[in-house]
Amino acid sequence: MNEKIETSLDQMIFRKTNAQLGRHISVTPTNSASKHLAYGRIILDADTPQVTFSNDDRETGLICLAGAAEVKTGSEKFRLGRYDALYIPRDSQIEVKADPQTDLAEFSAEVSRRYPLQYVSYQSISSDKTLHFKPGGPASTRDLNILIGKNVEAGRLLIGFTFSEPGNWTSWPPHEHAQMLEEIYVYFDMPEPAYGIQLVYNNTSYPELVTAVRDGDAVLIPGGYHPNVSLPGHRIAFLWAMAAHREMEDRQYGVVNVQPAFQQGGSGLEASRK
């Protein structure tokens, strides 16, 4: 991993991915360290009120980060409010309209099968203790939300978001899942001067990647341990999306290898598997 990170930082870190109006795809398997995942934003307002696109052979997850949107696919129409999600099968035509403005994160991965269209309201997952829980202990407590997980039939995608407590670590204890899942973190809702520190490493003594992350930044995690930490007085908030390497078979949340030196208390993700 040392050599790959040193020579491919531009394939792992993408800055200010929320800077453009319209639909803009920042990360794809052709420009990043990702094998399956693609990520972009759909930011619409009165000047750019609508986009239409096809997802071809890629299943798609849309997450509403701000405002609201009307999403139409086939004969179905949905209204997404903040933190609502929509899983859209491959080979779909998708139309998104601002209501009256919106910021959507778009994640996708190629799949061989077509899985059912499914809307997920944030309210529905917030009361499910296996989809919304607060893992961690002193200095590592966070609020974890699984939007597209075992509640949605899909081929590769797992998607959710995490809020830290100010000054706390998340993805702690450090863990990795590279044999089954690749991942991306996308930081959002972190107004200046807030920032965090993201690590990605296999070398447990001297991590290969340590970088500041701010609102709109995305970090690819093709493998390795990947904890992060927020500033005192400021939380971090990030979307996470994973893609299974083997369609369906590897699509399992919470199956991780904890860094050996920190194994004593488990991963903190066990609640998701009950």
1 — pLDDT class (breaks 50, 70, 90): very low
**Per-position b or e across 152-168, b if 16+ CB within 10 A of its CB:** bebbbbbbbbbbbbeeb
Quick one: CA torsion of 189, 128, 269, 220, rounded to 10 degrees? -40
Q: Which fold has domain 2-256?
A: Jelly Rolls (2.60.120)
What per-residue confidence (pLDDT) applies to 274?
63
Are 44 and 106 contacting, i.e. CB atoms less than 8 angstroms apart? no
Q: What is the pLDDT of residue 184?
A: 98
State which amino acid sits at residue 141.
Answer: T
- Closest residue by Cα to residue 67 from 47, 88, 86, 42: 42
How far apart, in whole angstroms, are the C-alpha atoms of residue 173 and residue 192? 27
Tens-digit pLDDT profile for residues 27-84: 999 999 999 999 999 999 999 999 999 999 999 999 999 999 999 999 999 999 999 9
CB 219 within 8 A of CB 211: yes
**Residue 7: pLDDT over 50:** no
pLDDT for position 89? 98
CA pair distance 161, 144, nearest whole angstrom:
6
Q: What mean pLDDT value characterizes the chain? A: 94
pLDDT for 20 beyond 90: yes
| Residue 9 reports pLDDT greater than 80 | yes
**Is the pTM above the cut of 0.85?**
yes
User: Percent of the chain at pLDDT above 70?
Assistant: 97
**Which of 266, 270, 271 is CA-nearest to residue 125?**
271
Q: By mean pLDDT, which of 3-7, 16-20, 111-115, 251-255 is the weakest?
A: 3-7
For residue 5, the model assigns a pLDDT of: 52
Those residues whose C-beta lies under 8 Å from the C-beta of residue 196, and which sit 6 or more positions away, are 164, 187, 190, 212, 213, 214, 228, 229, 230, 231, 236, 238
Q: What is the mean pLDDT of residues 230-250?
A: 97
216 vs 238: CA distance, rounded Å: 9
Mean pLDDT of the region 164-187: 96
CA angle at 180 for the pair 131 and 229, rounded to the nearest 5°? 60
The mean pLDDT value for 207-221 works out to 97
What does the pLDDT read at residue 2? 43
